[in-house]
Amino acid sequence: DADVTQTPRNRITKTGKRIMLECSQTKGHDRMYWYRQDPGLGLRLIYYSFDVKDINKGEISDGYSVSRQAQAKFSLSLESAIPNQTALYFCATSQGSYEQYFGPGTRLTVT
């Protein structure tokens, strides 16, 4: 089984809809992250969390919110989706300030 899982893997939604992307990990890591990937731009950090009570904004947090329901679960929400939020979203985990382990990604399309 994969160490970092993301659901759904693909989602098409309409402008204005609320959507939640979920991430679970079995690695026992304390830190979790959400990134978005756009062609030609690499990955950019949306939010990160060092533990259940510690949530921090990343480079591009506007229009997004997160919830750390447990050490192993970290959800990303788009309160009112817009077309320029169409992207590939990755969840990642790490133990301390070392390498991060990535999930398979969620491809989100907002029409």
Minimum separation from the CB atom of position 16 to other proteins (A): 28
Instruction: For the chain, give percent helix, strand, coil, nearest 5.
Output: 5, 60, 40
Which residues neighbour 86 within 8 Å (Cβ) at sequence distance 6 or greater? Answer: 108, 109, 110
Residues 68-97 binding other proteins (CB under 8 A) are: 90, 92, 97
Encoded tokens for 16: 């204005």
Minimum separation from the CB atom of position 111 to other proteins (A): 21
Encoded tokens for 48: 């990160």
From candidates 15, 17, 27, 56, binder to other proteins by CB under 8 A: 56
How far is 73 from 55, CA to CA, in rounded Å? Answer: 13
Closer residue to other proteins, CB minimum distance, 4 or 110: 4
Minimum separation from the CB atom of position 99 to other proteins (A): 5
Whose structure tokens read 């893997």? 9
Question: Cβ(52)–Cβ(72) under 8 Å?
Answer: no
By CB under 8 A, is residue 8 in contact with other proteins?
Answer: no
By CB under 8 A, is residue 19 in contact with other proteins?
Answer: no
> Residue 13, SS3?
strand
Minimum separation from the CB atom of position 4 to other proteins (A): 8
Q: Which residues form the interface with other proteins (CB under 8 A)?
A: 4, 33, 40-45, 48, 50, 56, 58, 90, 92, 97-105
